[in-house]
Structure 1
Amino acid sequence: MVRTFVVRGLLLGLLAGLIAGGFAFAFGEPQVDAAIALEEAADGHSHGHGSEAEVSRPVQKAGLFLATGLYGVAVGGIFALVFAGLRGRVGPRSDGLLALAAAGTAFVAVILVPFLKYPANPPAVGDPETIDSRTFLYVVMVLVGLAAAAIAVATSRRVHAGPWPRWLASVVAFLLPVVAAWVLLPTVDEVPDGFPGTLLWEFRLASIGTQLVFWAAFGALFGWACDRAAQRGAAPVGAAAPG
């Protein structure tokens, strides 16, 4: 059964990754091009993004789908293993609903929580000398999001006062470590003077939108596949029943 889930996660992760790549190509790449143009205009020469780059922009754009596809495969495989461990233990009894709930939780914990503290930046934004510290802080926020999700699940399993108190306790248990991390961790603000605020906002929207499209597509596809497999498994039983 675990092998079935993993194969399903790999294939549907690839498909969701390609869907997210299409979104990123349509809504994210124009902002990247505009940011690169600003960077080159400010410096007076190319920094490896233009036609004379080691990897040209057309090749980079084509490689976007390869990157999102590989991302989908990796995430799909990991998700399938976690899903197999959660199945029958926590969350909805329906595999389809569990897949949607797990995908939504993963998006919030792994993507949204760190993004709200350290949002993505386009080219020309960010000091190259601080990339290591910024990466470390981002990873810390990802770990905080995962820990908060685990705490919320554990809290939900221990509260037996009804659905609403259980949901409220889970939300509070999730938010406490997240808000603490948001407050305690340092803020990173390396947007250069004069950088267009609209361009920065649109890039960040495209960035989080790409992740939202991926997780929504993957959760829906994985849940649909699980429900369809369950219906197929139940069909012979119904067919064998006396008429």
Structure 2
Amino acid sequence: MVRTLLVRGLLLGLLAGLIAGGFAFAFGEPRVDSAIALEEAAAATAHEEAPDHSHGEEAEVSRPAQKAGLFLATGLYGLAVGGIFALVYAGLRGRVGPRTDGPLALAAAGTAFVAVILVPFVKYPANPPAVGDPETINSRTLLYVVMILVGLAATAIAVATARRVTAGPWARWVATALAFLVPVVAAWALLPSINEVPDGFPATLLWEFRLASLGTQLVFWAAFGVLFGWVSDRAARATASAPVGAAPGG
């Protein structure tokens, strides 16, 4: 069963990654082009003011190649995430969440999106080219990973709380929400903020890029959750309707 789920996760993760790549190509790449144009204009102006000052090498990979590579990147991302999700899903079945496969897949995908994507994004949203100091990339990456760990830990605490509270559905939901939000909000408040947006950078472009970045992740997790849940439900119904003693898939 685990092998079947793993293959399912890999294939559907790849498909969801390509779907998300299409969204990023349509809505994210135009914003990247605009940000690169601003960066190049600023570099040209600086070069005119200081012609002897070097501003680095030209991009080794052309924009057409980068755009084509976008689908490779999102496809590989989908493969990796789909495989990990399938293994986690195999451990959750019958233990946590809804008892049927489809709703469990949707609940798990939604929870993963909130914990791994939305929680760190609220504190440290994505930035387009020309935004961010290259010298702080290591510290920014570390802080982003810390927020991912906080989201995962908060999710684990919330699940444990939901299983322990038996006073009623409303009390359980309130306790679960508080168990999740308290560590997340504390991390949002205590971790240092990062604001490296240069003066004069168009706020509309920054906002649109961040929406496209978050939208790409939302499309991926929504597509993957729906696909994985639908296929899992169909497989479960096929297994339940198979004659007793029949070989699976026979």
* TM tier relative to shorter chain: over 0.9
CA deviations over 1:93-138 (Å, ceiling 9, x no partner)? 0110000000000000000000000000000000111111111100
Kept in 2: contact 1:39–1:123 (CA 8 A): yes
2:50 aligns with none
2:135 aligns with 129
**Aligned with 2:119 (options 90, 113, 135):** 113
Rounded to whole Å, the distance in 2 between the matches of 1:146 and 1:53 is 36
1:183 aligns with 189
* Matching of residue 27 in structure 1 with residue 27 in structure 2: yes
Rounded to whole Å, the distance in 2 between the matches of 1:202 and 1:184 is 27
* Matching of residue 200 in structure 1 with residue 177 in structure 2: no
Question: In the TM superposition, what is the alpha-carbon distance from 1:47 to its structure 2 partner?
Answer: 6.1
**Cα gap change, 1:160/1:230 in structure 2, threshold over 3 Å: closer, same or farther?**
same
* Matching of residue 168 in structure 1 with residue 174 in structure 2: yes
TM-score w.r.t. length of structure 1: 0.94
1:17 aligns with 17
CA deviations over 1:159-212 (Å, ceiling 9, x no partner)? 112222111111110000000000000010000000000000000000000000
CA deviations over 1:54-105 (Å, ceiling 9, x no partner)? 1100000000000000000000000000000011001000110000000000
1:94 aligns with 100
Rounded to whole Å, the distance in 1 between the matches of 2:215 and 2:56 is 27
Equivalent AA in structure 1 for residue 185 of structure 2: V
Question: In the TM superposition, what is the alpha-carbon distance from 1:53 to its structure 2 partner?
Answer: 3.1
Moved over 2 A (4+): 45-48
- In structure 2, stretches of 5+ residues that fail to align are 48-54
Rounded to whole Å, the distance in 2 between the matches of 1:11 and 1:124 is 35
Range 216-225 or range 163-172, more displaced: 163-172
Rounded to whole Å, the distance in 1 between the matches of 2:93 and 2:155 is 16
Question: In the TM superposition, what is the alpha-carbon distance from 1:37 to its structure 2 partner?
Answer: 0.2
Equivalent AA in structure 2 for residue 126 of structure 1: G
* Matching of residue 148 in structure 1 with residue 157 in structure 2: no
Q: How does 1:47-66 map to 2 (within 5 A)?
A: 53-66=59-72
Q: How does 1:221-236 map to 2 (within 5 A)?
A: 221-236=227-242
1:42 aligns with 42
Rounded to whole Å, the distance in 2 between the matches of 1:158 and 1:118 is 32
Give the length in aligned residue pairs.
236
Rounded to whole Å, the distance in 2 between the matches of 1:107 and 1:36 is 29
Equivalent AA in structure 1 for residue 206 of structure 2: L
Equivalent AA in structure 2 for residue 105 of structure 1: T
Rounded to whole Å, the distance in 2 between the matches of 1:151 and 1:14 is 30
**Cα gap change, 1:47/1:70 in structure 2, threshold over 3 Å: closer, same or farther?**
farther
- In structure 1, stretches of 5+ residues that fail to align are none
Kept in 2: contact 1:40–1:47 (CA 8 A): no
Q: Secondary structure at the match of 2:242?
A: helix
Q: Secondary structure at the match of 1:28?
A: helix
Question: In the TM superposition, what is the alpha-carbon distance from 1:11 to its structure 2 partner?
Answer: 0.2
TM-score w.r.t. length of structure 2: 0.92
Root mean square deviation of aligned Cα: 1.4
